[in-house]
Structure 1
């Protein structure tokens, strides 16, 4: 019943914002358009705002699941046009806080104690609030300042309900409009479900934060707050409180004497380090999740917050990515096309020459500029838009990476408009590639696998003996099989010879009977029996020749 009510709510919102105008001209979508326009809310709806802008407003009204889904879609340049990306990127996730007592009840139930016994102090008024959780400031018994993040009550039920509706809608879309299969709508929703459910699990966020903190332990460029595990569960996360200014507050940083050029370069260095050195990158690096410490303005330090969404790539994927980026910098369009086909992003049947020319057409005007004037975000957008014409199917982790890179570059250029991301990134890429194929990489592999290899040394004689036994058995089986094949061949040869002999006898008998030189018969006077015997003999010979034409 609740699901039906939710469906009616979504239907009313779609009608109110006339989202039927976004549907393609398709026979199946015509029915949906008709029902949307049938709703009374559509009769008085204003269409002055652009349809994609109306979609943003509708998603904000439908709540956290749809807001988060729209934010995820805003990174999919391979699926949506640029005008849609711009509107969805502006989705706001600001909601009023839930009851103060409700938050304290959750904290006490999860941590099994009163807030007075657990903390030195905990503010009842939230420090910040969002659709999934809210944050309260406080301190520990020893006076250390903390923040406590609490999952919004009942949000899991709402999220699961809306995710089920989205998944059902994606399946219907794939069945009703088969052309959408190449965009994998079900897979998009499934990937999104994994991301959103990860945000609801504060234990996962805590583990991610701990991994980042370990990766950048004692780093002068990035600081990750400490997690207090004894005061954290899947619904409550207690972390060290850090102070800084939002990375977008350039005025405060300039007033403190921070070099924005140096700060922007550090951001790029952190990104490449996370992706290629650690294979663990922050995939939600928008300005709200990044702050800058002003304790030492001459040596500024980034503060990383909210580690719920992270990404990682396999070694093969990182190697592929590095080669693609290097090919892009070298304007090697053929190599880019080949790598995208090898990665499975575009079909194997794609004509490399045609794809290469399409890439050159859209990328050459951009890449001809000086490197410090090139914005990589628009290049990626153009690249994905071009590849979409060739039925591109990029992996979700690459989409997260693309989103992160665009955020990093956007933040960097906001700090320092003349930032040359590749002056910093290219040496790091080249060094990483050298490390993967050099002697150091070989020694590292031996070092990593050495204990396992040493452990197997005592078993090598037995393994070798077992292998020889298997080879002997295989050889014996092969000999038996060959003998059976040879015997079968001989039997078939004998049968063929008998059939040929019978055919020749029949043909000869028929000819002798029908064309006896002592008879003076015309064609019509040849006995029927002679015809039949000759035909049977000829048929046997032809059958033999068809079965083995080489004889």
Structure 2
């Protein structure tokens, strides 16, 4: 019981912090629109608000600063939004990409405690040596260098104390706020706030489970076990848990240090090709890809082999999703706007709000800009961003795994251009895409698709008699009904309910005033200054109710 009360108090305090930061950066009108204005009055409007310099900043900058001030969960939300260029305007996505995941380190005593809790042994019994100063710190955890008893050099990733509870509490609040945004601000529905919180929840909860990152690492190691160009660090499972991850220590040069690579005579073009080629293999062959291959997650080892790090953010492409992805690429090559729209529909990206005729026109215009150009003259990142903008303007929903694929592609191309400005990812994609499309016509692949379709139809036909019987039974018993829903109708009903409630309340106040007036004309005891006390009380009660009603009308802005 005490724990629940403390959690409730913590969440109320967190709500107050969020509202205060929103008001600080000029977004107080959103607080009022979602019905939390009175809470804001209680927490942060006791003092007269001063005009702040922050209000003069652009919307994207103010929003980024809000996310930074609210901490790790909101920074992760901003990083997620930076990938969702199908939902947010490009200027906001670009600003959110500046969000950094840096954080101060936490004490070694806490590191020791977490390791003991996770691995059931103290640090000195597990490791030959363990550096107290971390190599790197982030909002979720920090990394220490250590040596095992057998002499292996390792890095130990330790989760920040209490971060899981903070994230879970923030997610609860985010779900509440996203529901309020959806309910009270119709324009917010275009950004699908609840679905965004769902995506963030899946992503960040997976990120704080270090054992999941360990499994991702092992899967990459299996996929690249025969590669002579790519190295994946070894996971030490005896020294790994949900809050502790122990990996092989790799000596190398960070991917962004072009000066050191040049000084030591590395072939930068070969490095860029190795990274880009490995990513295309992950996408087109493995269906399992690293979605965050920025220079900080790439090391160049002494012998020129490329090592990948940090497998917390990965994407999955099922065979069905890869087939749809290839259909989309085929539609772009052939200029088949109908196939492109149907592929988006199969992916679940098109609903009743999308005007497919306008989408087809926009797609044809987009394709005409690049039709006939040599691949060496195409910039993959520009093409992707323009295509995403077309989808955003047409309210097409891009699946999360495709969003991760876009992020991964942009990260790889960005790294490639740092290392080798002549790298052209579009040229590298062509043979992989052609081979994948050709493989889709192999007899065994056609047979697989046919088998899947036959199985689906078989299940439908098996269930059809029962479903039809249930429908007929409901119709015969008078239970069959048609449900029609409209957002505009819902809003109209809500407005009518609000108006009727206020009208009813006004009538009650009027009745109290009339009754009190009649009572004051009598000599009903007890009396106060010669006036019946009950009548005075009635007038006082009506005044309080009336002031509350007026205050509520002005607070919501709806008279």
Distance in 1, matches of 2:81 and 2:353, equals 28
Per the alignment, do residues 314 and 370 of structure 1 end up closer, same or farther by CA in structure 2, a change over 3 Å counting? same
Report the counterpart of residue 508 of structure 2 in structure 1. Answer: none
Alignment of 1:30-41 (within 5 A): 40=48
Taking the aligned partners of 1:32 and 1:346, their CA distance within structure 2 comes to: 38
- Show CA shifts across 1:331-353 (max 9, x none): 54454334223433223785655
The 10-residue stretch of structure 1 (148-157 or 313-322) with the greater mean CA deviation from structure 2:
313-322
Q: Is 1:81 paired with 2:85?
A: no
Partner SS state of residue 47, structure 1: helix
The offset of 1:425, in angstroms, is 1.2
1:111-154 superposed Cα distances (whole Å, 9 cap, x missing partner): 11222211111111111111001111011112111001101111
Out of 13, 18, 23, the position equivalent to 1:15 is 23
Native 8 Å contact 1:183 1:393 kept in 2:
no
The 1:54/1:181 distance shift into structure 2, 3 A limit, reads: closer
Q: SS state of the match for residue 277, structure 2?
A: helix
Q: In structure 2, do the counterparts of structure 1 residues 8 and 27 end up closer, same or farther at CA, with 3 Å as the change threshold? A: closer
* TM-score, scaled relative to structure 1: 0.74
TM-score between the two structures when normalised by the length of structure 2: 0.73
1:46 matched residue in structure 2: 54
Offset, 1:283 = 1.8
Q: Tell whether the 8 Å contact from 1:334 to 1:352 is kept in structure 2 after alignment.
A: no
**1:290-333: CA deviation from partner (whole Å, max 9, x where unpaired):** 2222x22xxx3221111112111221111111222243345544
- Does the 8 Å CA contact 1:17/1:42 hold for their aligned counterparts? no
**Match among 438, 446, 456 for residue 442 of structure 2:** 438
Between the two proteins, the alignment pairs up a number of residues equal to: 445
SS in 2 for 1:46: helix
Unpaired runs of at least 5, structure 1: 450-469, 475-551
Contact 2:294 2:414 in 1 (8 A): no
1:179 Cα offset (Å): 4.2
Other-structure match for 1:68: 76
Any stretches of 5+ residues in structure 2 without a counterpart?
1-8, 453-461, 466-559
3-state SS of paired residue (1:136): strand
Q: How far, CA to CA, are the matches of 1:331 and 1:417 in structure 2? A: 30
- Equivalent of 1:276 in 272, 276, 284: 284
1:287 paired residue number: 295
**Correspondence for 1:136:** 144
1:125 aligned residue (129, 133, 147): 133
**How far apart, in 1, do the equivalents of 2:324 and 2:56 lie?**
45
Greater relative CO (CA pairs within 8 A, separation 6+): 2
- CA gap of 1:42–1:223, structure 2 versus 1, over 3 A, is farther
* 1:456-503 Cα distance to aligned partner (Å, 9 max, x none): xxxxxxxxxxxxxx9xxx9xxxxxxxxxxxxxxxxxxxxxxxxxxxxx
Superposed displacement of residue 30, structure 1: 11
Aligned counterparts, 1:482-521, within 5 A? none
1:198-246: CA deviation from partner (whole Å, max 9, x where unpaired): 1110111111101111111131121110000111111111110011122
User: Residue in 1 aligned with 2:168?
Assistant: 160
Residue number in structure 2 paired with 1:343 = 347
1:424 aligns to 2:428 (yes or no)? yes
State the shift of 1:13 in Å.
1.6
Q: Could you give the per-residue CA deviations for residues 154-182 of structure 1, whole angstroms, max 9, x where no partner exists?
A: 11110111111111111111111234334
1:191–1:30 Cα change, 3 Å:
closer
Of 202, 210, 214, 2:218 maps to 210
Residue among 228, 242, 247 paired with 1:239: 247
Larger radius of gyration: 1
For the aligned residue pairs, the C-alpha RMSD in angstroms reads 3.1
Aligned partners of 1:53, 1:137: CA distance in 2, in Å?
Answer: 37
* Paired residue secondary structure (2:146): strand
**2:256 is the counterpart of 1:252:** no
* Cα distance between partner residues in 2 of 1:378 and 1:59: 27
| Cα-to-partner distance string for 1:82-118 (whole Å, 9 max, x where unaligned) | 1101110000111110011110121122211222211
Between stretches 328-337 and 338-347, larger displacement belongs to 328-337
Counterpart of 2:416 in structure 1 is 412
Q: Secondary structure at the match of 1:134?
A: strand
- Aligned residue in 2 for 1:390: 394
Indicate yes or no: 2:63 matched with 1:58.
no
Residues 1:379 and 2:377 aligned together:
no
Give, in whole Å, the separation in 2 of the partners of 1:40 and 1:361.
53
